Structure 1
């Protein structure tokens, strides 16, 4: 096998492995996790996110399973119109990421 083909194969395998480790959860699965107590309620997670940016508004939310960890992702626009990307551990509400959107 030529060296170029080997590198392309390796790059493809790495890409597949990484994408397999993070997956979006649909509404039905998310509600089952909430109802079972595996993750916090979405209302509580939203409150925790908005506490970081008082007067802010949530634009988008998404629940993902990343490497076995449930991560709640939000896009928040603060009172000054600045966009923020937040990630919370959906099981306990810990803020994992809170940075200004580029």
Structure 2
């Protein structure tokens, strides 16, 4: 029983650590990163996301820091009403994920 308790505790701590590795960045912090040249302009990042789905519109955006990397998340709706989630490396503009929203 002691071994099981230890395993459960270790798993809980590991999960909590993983959740703490991603954090949302507020507008002020995002603007500071942009102004410092740490991340690309939001216009360029939005253009990169929209290039994946021509004719789509942006519903929402969010900047997160995950494992020391800045990730720009864009929610799009294409001209057929399909929702897409696009994640970009905010420093390089590289598309990391592009999938249909569930």
Alignment TM-score > 0.5, same fold? yes
Structure 1 partner of 2:99: 99
Task: Quote the residue 1:54 is aligned against.
Answer: 54
Unaligned ranges ≥5, structure 1 = none
Distance in structure 2 (CA, Å) of the matches to 1:18 and 1:32: 26
CA distance in 1, matches of 2:30, 2:37: 11
* Structure 1 length-normalised TM: 0.94
Q: Return the alpha-carbon distance in structure 2 between the equivalents of residues 20 and 101 of structure 1.
A: 24
Distance 2:54 2:38 in 1: 27
TM-score by length of 2: 0.94
Of stretches 4-13 and 64-73 in structure 1, the one that deviates more from structure 2 is 4-13
C-alpha distance in 1 between matches for 2:60 and 2:12: 30
* Counterparts of 1:46 and 1:12, CA distance in 2: 37
2:23 corresponding residue in structure 1: 23
Paired position in structure 1 for 2:77? 77
Residues matched between the structures, number:
102
The two structures, once aligned, show a CA RMSD in angstroms of 1.2
CA displacement at 1:8 relative to structure 2: 2.2
Counterpart residue number, 2:13: 13
